[in-house]
Homo-oligomer: A and B are copies of this chain.
């Protein structure tokens, strides 16, 4: 089956977690909004008329199915492409981890938009600095420390053990994103999560991922996405 992924054409954003899964699986897909007329097509899909409209991109069309919410899309794809275990307990566990990553992603966004996403960053720089300080002091250690312990408890390769899941692909993206947005903070922090960094390297070396990252399909990080590099937010780090 050829999928249609609907997501904003100029950013990695939440769509990237889906792209990484599709790419690692070697799945056929169109990144619809990056084609001619694609953004209009995406907006039309969000009309409520049919009774099951997505609230926001990303969403994935798989035949007649239209699935929204990043973690939900991955739950669906994981089962079909060997990116998640098949047994119910393990499947729910992997989904649970992905939902925790979704919470982290929201908190990353709040570092630059603590007063809300419809206001300009320039109008919330001071609160953004405070939120970012709290993020690095309290939240990054809690989230990444959590995944570090899970990797350790399961043998050290991937979060569930020897086989990759979509959660590992998402953790790769988290590490890449934090490195991009907060290079100083992250450089100082990485020694606390050595297994997570090894996991990141393991993912980066997977053939399909390697090909994808080197291709034009991988949109570069930029300041419209979730992970944004604002010097003043990375400057508070005491090194």
CB-nearest residue of chain B to A131: B115
Interface size on A, residues (CB 8 A): 49
Complex CA distance for A32 and B154, rounded to whole angstroms: 28
Which residues from B are CB-within-8-Å of A137?
A: 118
Contact of A52 among B50, B93, B99 (CB under 8 A): B93
**Count of chain copies:** 2
Which residues from B are CB-within-8-Å of A27?
A: none
Q: Is A37 an interface residue (CB 8 A)?
A: no
Complex CA distance for A72 and B99, rounded to whole angstroms: 8
Q: Is A139 an interface residue (CB 8 A)?
A: yes
Contacts A48-B152, A119-B134 given; 20 further ones with Cβ under 8 A? A48-B146, A48-B150, A48-B153, A49-B153, A51-B150, A51-B153, A55-B100, A65-B89, A65-B92, A68-B96, A71-B99, A72-B92, A99-B102, A103-B106, A106-B106, A110-B110, A114-B127, A114-B131, A116-B135, A118-B137
